[in-house]
Amino acid sequence: MNNKQKFSEVGRSVRKVDAMGLATGRAKFTDDYEMPGMLHAKLLRSPHAHARIRSIRTAKARALPGVAAVLTYKDVPRVPFTTAGQGYPEPSPYDDFILDDKVRFVGDKVALVAAETDEIAGEALKLIEVEYEELPAVLDPRKAMRSSAPVIHDEKECYIAIPVPYEPERNRAARVEAVVGNVEKGVMEAEVAVEDEFENQTASHSALEPHCALSWLDENDRLNIISSTQVPYHARRIVSRALQIPVKRIRVIKPRLGGGFGGKQEVLLEPYVGILTLKTGRPVKMRLTRKEVFTSARVRHNMITKVQVAARKDGELTAIDLYALSNTGAYGTHGLTVASNVGTRTLTMFRCPNMRFSSDVVYTNLSVSGAYRGYGGTQGILATAITMDDLAERLGMDPVDFYLKNIIGGGAEVPILKELGEGPVLGQPRVSSCELAACIKAGMEAIGWKKKRGRPGGGRFRRGIGMSVMMQGSSIPYIDMGSAFIKMNDDGSFNLLMGATDIGQGSDTVLAQMAAEVLTVKTDDIIVYSSDTDLTPFDVGAYASSTTYLSGAAVKQTAEKVREQILHVGAALLNTTPGKVHLSGGCVIGPGGKSVTLKEVGTSSLYEKDQFQISASASSISHESPPPFAAHFVEVEVDRATGKVRVLEYVQAVDCGTPINPVLARGQAIGALINGISYALVEQYIYNSKGAMLNPGYGYYKIFCTKDIPKITTIFVPSYEPTGPFGAKSVGEVCISGPLPAISNAIYDAVDVRLHRTPFTPDKVLEAIHARRRG
Amino acid sequence: MEIVLTINGKKTRAEAGTSETLLDLLRRLGYKSVKYGCGEGFCGACTVIMDGRPVNSCLVPAVTAGGREVITVEHLGTPQKPHPLQEAFVEAGAVQCGFCTPGMILSAKALLDKKSNPSEEEIREALDGNLCRCTGYVQIVEAVQLAAKRMKEKKRKREKKIK
Amino acid sequence: MKLPNIKKVSYPESTAEAVAILSDEKRNAVPLSGGVSFIFASTAGVEELVCLNRLPLRYIKKKNGGLLVGATTLVSELVEAGAVGSYADGILREAARRVGSTLNRNLITVGGSLVQPFIWSDLPAVALAMGAKIRIQGKKSRTIDAEKFYARPPRQLLKGGDLVTEVLFPAPPPGSRAAYRKFALTENDFAILKVAILLSRRKRLCREITVAVGGATVLPQRTPMAEAALRGKQASQVLVNEASELAAEEIKVSRDMRCSNDYKRELCRVMVRAILEEILLDQKVAEWKLF
Ligand SMILES: Cc1cc2nc3c(=O)[nH]c(=O)nc-3n(C[C@H](O)[C@H](O)[C@H](O)COP(=O)(O)OP(=O)(O)OC[C@H]3O[C@@H](n4cnc5c(N)ncnc54)[C@H](O)[C@@H]3O)c2cc1C
Ligand code: FES
Ligand code: FES
């Protein structure tokens, strides 16, 4: 299984190529760019969850000195589009407008201002007079599809561009259904069955850098946009649609990006700065305040999940039935795909003949959901991993043994993927590499599972231990595409140009390592330039955990093509034929050990003989989406007097194929894990009865700081993905999904209560403990 | 309102706006390593060392910054000649997106200036006002430990030489 | 930051000078100590900021077994000072340590924290429990007991150029024990509730006790019924349970978006009881960190 080759640059923790620029404060993020004559833009935000704009008067705002433009829905093209930065045609409904005469959530956009300073723009917002007709609002996803519910998208223009169910008149943004086998039959065959319901909370990505975009017209009247985006190419296409200008007139550049986690896979600012630049002819910058990021950017889908699992006495699963009611908020971005991932990221893991997944994605007048690290997997694993823990207990089995009996292994066929995949599926879908069993064994060993399980102790503080297993994907098969271009310089260095988007995760580095591996040079001989729609070839962007796997394959193929050309030139210099030479240690080596350096090859190709630019480009699409897997183990201590849960120790064992850069891979795994623990214990949106978020700031929306971090052990189990570049698959998302169920299961081990609603805040835990005591 | 303050050792005369924070002022003057993350004192992206202590520059009214001595990360080192903390952050994987990094490094520097051999707990305490959503902090704490170790070794070597 | 009408920033070097500026009604001046509250306070009418950082008020002195703390002393300096650590079982240090983050504590001053309590403020509860004396200089200089200072929003007491210059945390009585606990969701979070208790005892006899609860309302509050239940009594687990129940019943609780008022009362009961078990009944509780 481990056809591990010896690599020299791959598998090594080379320095992150952009890290020193960042550590010395030199690297530039979008907000660090300024332009002469630049205007500052701000959006007026809706105070109502659902309302129609009866009248809107902007004269006073326009009259304010320093105001350059005030735009309302009357001044912008009315073209339905989606802000979801996905492949084309997007699987998200076109249900949004730059500005509209209707607002659909508190924080929705109402009017747009550009002014000489941020402060004047803020003053101008206050001078815009809006008269709203408030409409009844849908603030509970459970009530969204009732016949009495107000219709949130009653506009006639909204539609979805792919052939899937879309029923805005019922507030249903998407519907998913997939079956293999016969679930009812499976339940009949079972001796034990468990049914349960869960709900996860809305949450903010909280990338430290708030969304920002800057646009200007260049000397050729083209619209240039620097943006904190995970998806430059999708941004270009979506801006083109929203503003009704051709793609060729737009250039999108991504500079350093301060974290994304899915939150910047949305085209939230580009159309606004773009239209202001087109109207005023001037550069325009817009940066969200932290409050706006909370109220008006994107959030994790809140879902209510219902699940039934059934097994024979010996523990063999006979049926899994999973349903998710997904709250997409006011717009349907990523509604369908996140929902279907609830199914794929859970059901794929189990060898079970009867499985069903279904989901309704509903509109509400609440925060707009979108892509968020974990992408449905988090929600699905919450439900299945707690229910399986319960089922194992009823079977009198250790959950570890239960999982080992039921999970898939390498080479498994996964029929459910045929029903649920985002792209077309050709043939029987398979999982090539899977070391989940090894993950479980390594993790349980490291935490001392057998010793600790079922020993809560007495008194006020009880200890418990719990586990979960999870998976993610690596790219969207047959849909995602990545490409790269490499050219060689006279000193033997290379420029690597690619659309792949480094959002902090380190893809510039990891991809440079792959190029260096093929070209037998050091990673710092590869000069990376990424994510500029004018200069770098296409890439879908940073999402779906696709970069290492998919863009990596493109880089590898590109480098291989370049290697061919190098060998050609090298052979000529050595007076031999290409078939007789090979590339090694930065030299072309010929018969008898005669060699030329890459510098000689580069110089010769550019200046000396039969000159040409050694360069190549290659594209890659994926045929599979090999899942990374992980097993999580956590020990907690629960204060039975206050309900406070403290994580004492956390062990995660991860199968991500070959970690191309172990230090960076570890950083991805830990970063995702801490986000997941923080989400499980403290993060939440608190709304008032009118749908306004009460805690749009880090004062009352807490995320973990240094002092909240428990002891963490991260283990990478040996693994090799045959379809991936150098055996790699993805690692960016998978570990975020484990903490919710693992911690819930550990709480159960400690104090005998099952928590179904997240986050597990002290008041909720205490309530559950009291309820149990009351019986 | 005109104020005079010292930024990275340089006496600077500046016009401070009445609605500006020190963060706004520094960024306007070109010190872009000081970042806006929340504007409310919670995230630490705007950290500067002011009169010897790391503080949230977004909480300081610019008009009151006169006479202060301010240090930003631009002052610590360059890519060619980095500070040991910058070196250690790069090596230990403490930099992912890097948006929190300038602030983290300044908080760590203020700690190491006071205490050359901090415990893990002291490091966590010193960095508790600097949020990072990317790393989960583990490698950041490791980086500070690494830098502390190297700085101590360097100092010992230097002292040996002098002797 | 919104200080739209600021025309002047002054840096008085003496208290008298500061008081003079502040008392001049025409100048519409306010003191600025750490300045941290100015990002959320409304300051529309303010025309002059009087920065206190050059006043000779940045000190921590031992005084007759108590502590005299100057108004512009940083909260960090409280945390660092040995004298604060050894004062009253470290009650003041513990409260100071839990104020915001390290970066915040390097700006926030003792004076600013005491003068303008917010629901999250940590120091007022300790001042109240310890019977701190707050020194005010102004047209009429005076010293006010914390109890009176926090009977109403303190700003109502401070008029016409009044400046808080220092706080005396008096020597705890002989045989006393004290503790401060904060309960929050994360280490740096605004407390959901905090409790400060000072008591003096001889063996199990509780001679004197003050319980101050913070975070239930903006102002810190005493719990007279709970205190009375213990004062002069021979302590027992039963009595401690009773007292903590009384405390939970008698506190006023204002709405907190994060939890129900009932939860807060329950927390009050648990925290008061746990602290009393520790400092009155001498029960060893290793897991204190959990608050
Ligand atoms: C992110 C953040 C987190 C925080 N977390 C906490 C926490 O957990 N616990 C906590 O206790 N506090 C916390 N605080 C601090 C609290 O909110 C107050 O802002 C702070 O105590 C103010 O102190 P300061 O020195 O900055 O006062 P300033 O802002 O300078 O002053 C506060 C008010 O008091 C007046 N004033 C100041 N000094 C005097 C004086 N000597 N005489 C008369 N009037 C005076 C001022 O005019 C002003 O109205 C936090 C603050 C922030 C920004
Ligand atoms: S921007 Fe200053 S603390 Fe967040
Ligand atoms: S590295 Fe991205 S926030 Fe810290």
Q: Summarize pLDDT for B104-127 with one digit per residue, the tens.
A: 999 999 999 999 999 999 999 999
Q: Which residues pair with A716 in a beta bridge?
A: A654
Question: What's residue A4's pLDDT?
Answer: 52
Residue B10 CB partners (closer than 8 Å, separation 6+): none
The number of CA neighbours under 13 Å toward the Cβ of C84 is 22
State the pLDDT confidence band at A3, using cuts at 50, 70 and 90. very low
Nearest to B38 among A26, A205, A698 (CB): A698
Burial of B160 from C-beta contacts in 10 A (0-12 / 13-18 / 19+)? exposed
| Tens place of pLDDT per residue across chain C (291 aa) | 677 788 999 999 999 999 999 999 999 999 999 999 998 787 888 999 999 999 999 999 999 999 999 999 999 999 999 999 999 999 999 999 999 999 999 999 999 999 999 999 999 999 999 999 999 999 899 999 999 999 999 988 998 789 999 999 999 999 999 999 999 999 999 999 999 999 999 999 999 999 999 999 999 999 999 999 999 999 999 999 999 999 999 999 999 999 999 999 999 999 999 999 999 999 987 655 556
pLDDT higher than threshold 80 for residue A518: yes
The number of residues making up chain C comes to 291
State the pLDDT confidence band at A2, using cuts at 50, 70 and 90. very low
Structural tokens at position A413: 């066929």
Question: What's residue B162's pLDDT?
Answer: 81
Angle of the A762-774 helix axis to the C261-279 helix axis, nearest 10: 90
Ligand minimally distant from the alpha carbon of residue C35: 1
Structural tokens at position A62: 């326009």
Rounded Cα–Cα distance for residues A708 and B124 (Å): 9
SS3 call for C85? helix
Burial of A244 from C-beta contacts in 10 A (0-12 / 13-18 / 19+)? exposed
Residue-wise pLDDT tens digits, A543-572: 888 889 999 999 999 999 999 999 999 999
SS3 call for A208? coil
Pairing state between β C176-183 and C193-202? antiparallel
Q: Which amino acid is at A416?
A: I
Structural tokens at position A124: 């101008």
CB B90 near ligand 2, within 6 Å = no
Question: What's residue C45's pLDDT?
Answer: 86
Ligand 1 atom with least separation from CA of C165: 41
CA distance A641 to chain C (A): 7
Of all protein residues, the one whose alpha carbon is nearest to atom 32 of ligand 1 is: C112
Nearest to A670 among B35, B85, B136 (CB): B136
Contact across the interface for C103 and B21, Cβ inside 8 Å: no
Ligand minimally distant from the alpha carbon of residue A208: 3
Rounded Cα–Cα distance for residues A277 and A290 (Å): 24
SS3 call for A384? helix
Question: Nearest residue of B to residue C79 by CA position?
Answer: B125
Q: Which amino acid is at A705?
A: C
Enter the pTM of the model: 0.97
Cβ atoms of C99 and C123 closer than 8 Å: yes
Which among A342, A14, A385 has a CA at the least distance from the CA of A178?
A342
Question: Nearest residue of A to residue B86 by CA position?
Answer: A23
Rounded Cα–Cα distance for residues A329 and A346 (Å): 24
Cβ atoms of A670 and A505 closer than 8 Å: no
Question: What's residue A425's pLDDT?
Answer: 65
Question: What's residue C42's pLDDT?
Answer: 75
- Residue A722: how many other CB atoms lie within 10 Å: 14
State whether residue C51 sits within 8 Å of chain B by CB.
Answer: yes
Q: Where are the beta strands (DSSP E) in A364-480?
A: 461-471
Contact across the interface for C258 and A762, Cβ inside 8 Å: no
Going from the Cα of C275 to the center of ligand 1, the distance in angstroms, rounded, reads 27
Where b means 16+ CB within 10 Å and e means fewer, A402-411 reads bbbebbbebe
- Domains of chain A, by residue range, sit at 19-27+481-621, 33-135+208-259+264-296, 302-476+624-774
Structural tokens at position A526: 């590869």
Phi, psi torsion values for C154, nearest 5 degrees = -55, -25
Nearest to A206 among B72, B95, B133 (CB): B133
Residue A89 CB partners (closer than 8 Å, separation 6+): A161, A162
Cβ atoms of B89 and A23 closer than 8 Å: yes
Contact across the interface for B19 and C104, Cβ inside 8 Å: no
CB B129 near ligand 2, within 6 Å = no
By mean pLDDT, which of A733-742, B152-161, C124-133, C170-179 is the weakest?
A: B152-161
Going from the Cα of C257 to the center of ligand 1, the distance in angstroms, rounded, reads 22
Rounded Cα–Cα distance for residues B65 and B76 (Å): 21
Within chain B, where are the H helices? Answer: 22-28, 84-91, 101-114, 120-126, 138-162
Tokens 């085209």 appear where? A267
- Residue C127: how many other CB atoms lie within 10 Å: 28
Looking at 3.40.50.10330, 3.40.50.11540, 3.90.950.20, 3.30.365.10, the CATH number of the domain A302-476+624-774 comes to 3.30.365.10
Of all protein residues, the one whose alpha carbon is nearest to atom 5 of ligand 1 is: C100
Structural tokens at position A583: 């590339």
Angle of the B84-91 helix axis to the B138-162 helix axis, nearest 10: 140
CATH superfamily, region B2-75? Beta-grasp domain (3.10.20.30)
Rounded Cα–Cα distance for residues A342 and A82 (Å): 22
Rounded Cα–Cα distance for residues C114 and C145 (Å): 12
Phi, psi torsion values for C173, nearest 5 degrees = -65, 160
SS3 call for B73? helix
Residue A772 CB partners (closer than 8 Å, separation 6+): A751, A752, A753
Question: Nearest residue of C to residue B62 by CA position?
Answer: C1
Cβ atoms of B23 and B47 closer than 8 Å: no
Question: What's residue A428's pLDDT?
Answer: 81
State whether residue C5 sits within 8 Å of chain B by CB.
Answer: yes
Mean predicted confidence (pLDDT) in A584-606 = 97
Cβ atoms of B131 and A702 closer than 8 Å: no
pLDDT higher than threshold 90 for residue A274: yes
CB B45 near ligand 2, within 6 Å = yes
Ligand 3 atom with least separation from CA of B133: 3
Walk me through the domains of chain C, giving residue ranges and CATH numbers. 8-51 (3.30.43), 60-169 (3.30.465.10), 176-283 (3.30.390.50)
Q: Which amino acid is at A289?
A: T
DSSP code of residue C9: E
pLDDT higher than threshold 50 for residue A305: yes
Burial of C174 from C-beta contacts in 10 A (0-12 / 13-18 / 19+)? exposed
- Domains of chain B, by residue range, sit at 2-75, 84-162
Tokens 């893809």 appear where? A507
Give the percent of chain A with pLDDT over 70. Answer: 99
pLDDT higher than threshold 90 for residue A542: no
Which among A123, A126, A128 has a CA at the least distance from the CA of A99?
A128
Angle of the A552-573 helix axis to the A507-519 helix axis, nearest 10: 30
SS3 call for A151? coil
Cβ atoms of C48 and C18 closer than 8 Å: no
Phi, psi torsion values for C130, nearest 5 degrees = -85, -5
Q: Domain A19-27+481-621: which topology?
A: Aldehyde Oxidoreductase; domain 4 (3.30.365)
Ligand 1 atom with least separation from CA of B59: 53
Name the architecture of domain A33-135+208-259+264-296: Alpha-Beta Complex (3.90)
ipTM reported for the complex, 2 dp: 0.97
DSSP code of residue C116: S
Mean predicted confidence (pLDDT) in A391-420 = 95
The number of CA neighbours under 13 Å toward the Cβ of C72 is 17
State whether residue C187 sits within 8 Å of chain B by CB.
Answer: yes
Rounded Cα–Cα distance for residues B32 and A185 (Å): 64
State the pLDDT confidence band at A1, using cuts at 50, 70 and 90. very low
Interface test with C, best of A126, A463, A700, A701 (most C CBs within 10 A): A700
Give the percent of chain B with pLDDT over 90. Answer: 94
CATH number for the domain running over B84-162? 1.10.150.120
State whether residue C1 sits within 8 Å of chain B by CB.
Answer: yes
Nearest to C36 among B20, B47, B59 (CB): B59
Contact across the interface for C186 and A682, Cβ inside 8 Å: yes
- Residue B154: how many other CB atoms lie within 10 Å: 11
Q: Which residues pair with C168 in a beta bridge?
A: C68, C133
Rounded Cα–Cα distance for residues C70 and C113 (Å): 12
Angle of the C237-250 helix axis to the C261-279 helix axis, nearest 10: 150
By mean pLDDT, which of A40-44, A132-136, A253-257, A543-547 is the weakest?
A: A543-547
DSSP code of residue A248: G
Nearest to B61 among C38, C101, C106 (CB): C38
Residue-wise pLDDT tens digits, A85-110: 999 999 999 999 999 999 999 999 99
State the pLDDT confidence band at A401, using cuts at 50, 70 and 90. very high
Rounded Cα–Cα distance for residues A563 and A276 (Å): 47
DSSP B40-66: SSSS-TTEEEETTEEEEGGGSBGGG-T
Residue B107 CB partners (closer than 8 Å, separation 6+): B44, B47, B54, B126, B127, B129, B130, C102, C103
Give the helix/strand (H/E) hosting B15: strand B10-15
- Chain B contact set for A300 (CB, 8 A): none
Structural tokens at position A359: 């989901």
What are B's interface residues with C at a Cβ cutoff of 8 A? 1, 18-21, 24, 39-42, 44, 47, 50, 53-56, 58-64, 66-67, 107, 125-130
Tokens 């301010």 appear where? B70
Ligand 2 atom with least separation from CA of B44: 3
CB C49 near ligand 1, within 6 Å = no
Going from the Cα of C49 to the center of ligand 1, the distance in angstroms, rounded, reads 15
The reply to whether domains A19-27+481-621 and A302-476+624-774 share a CATH topology is yes
What are A's interface residues with C at a Cβ cutoff of 8 A? 460-461, 637, 639, 641-642, 644, 646, 681-682, 686, 694-695, 699-700, 702, 704-705, 707-708, 761-763, 766-767
Question: What's residue C41's pLDDT?
Answer: 80
